[in-house]
Amino acid sequence: MNEKVKSKDVLIETASRLFKVRGYCGVGLNDIIEESGIPKGSLYYYFPEGKEQLAIAAIDNTKKLVMEDIKHIFNKTSNLIDALQAYVYELSKVFGEGGDPIGSPIGTIAGEKHSTSEPIRLACEATFKSWQSIYTEKFLEAGYPEDQAKSLATVFHALTEGGILLALTMKSGKPLEAIAEKIPSLFIKKLVEK
C-alpha cells in the first residue's frame, strides 16, 4: 500500500474512532491530527474541505465495514429468524460492556448534524439505506412480498439503532439481548389467506 493511501486511511479510521467516542461536535481537526500522527498539511491534502468532508469519508467507511459484518452473519444461515437474532446478539457483544465498535454509531452523527449539514445527513441516509437493503434482501429470501420486506427491514433497523443507543447509554448489551429474544414473535411470517 502506498504512503498516500495509508495516510488517508489512518485519518479516516482515526476520525471514525473519535466521532464514535465523542460525537461529531466533540471532535476537532486538531484532535484528529494529534491522534493520527498525520501532519495537518496531509489532512488538508486529502480533505481540502475539512472536517465535514472527512466525516463523510468516515461514515462511508463505517457503512462498508458494517455491511460486511451484516452479510457475514446473514450468510451463515438461510433462516431469517436465526440470522436476525445472530446479528442482534453480535451487536449486544460489540456495544455492551467492554465493546469497542470502531466508527459507530452513525446514528449519533445523524442526530447531531441532520439539520445543520445536508452533506452529512445525506451520507447517513445513504448508509442507513444500504444497511436496510441487506435486511430487505433477507426478508425477500424468506418469502415476504417486496413492500412488506422493505417495511420490516425499516422496523428491524429502527430496533437495532434504538437498541444500540440504549446499550451505549446503559453500558450493557442487555437491551439488544432483549430485542434478539423478541425477534421470533416480531418477524415470524404470518400466512394470510386470500
Rounded Cα distance between 170 and 187, Å, is 26
Mean pLDDT for all residues in the chain: 89
At residue 98, the pLDDT reads 60
**Residue 193 pLDDT > 90, yes or no?**
no
11, 47 Cβ separation under 8 angstroms:
yes
Cell of 1: 500500500
**Residue 1 pLDDT > 60, yes or no?**
no
Fold observed for domain 3-187: Tetracycline Repressor; domain 2 (1.10.357)
Q: CB within 8 A of 87, min separation 6: which ones?
A: 70, 73, 74, 160
Task: Report the length, in residues, of the chain.
Answer: 194
Question: Does the CA dihedral 32-37-40-42 come out positive or negative?
Answer: negative
Domain ranges of the chain: 3-187
42, 56, 75 from 30: Cα distances, Å: 13, 18, 41
**DSSP type of residue 103:** T
Quote the pTM value.
0.88
Helix 80-95, helix 118-141: angle, nearest 10: 140
At residue 22, the pLDDT reads 85
Average pLDDT over residues 133-154: 96
Decide which of 59 and 103 is more confident. 59
Banded pLDDT at 107 (limits 50, 70, 90): confident
> What type of residue is 85?
Q
4, 42 Cβ separation under 8 angstroms:
no
How many CB atoms are closer than 10 A to CB 194?
2
Q: Which of 81-90, 105-114, 126-135, 139-148 has the lowest mean pLDDT?
A: 105-114
Decide which of 43 and 1 is more confident. 43
**Residue 2 pLDDT > 60, yes or no?**
no
Q: What percent of the chain has pLDDT over 90?
A: 71
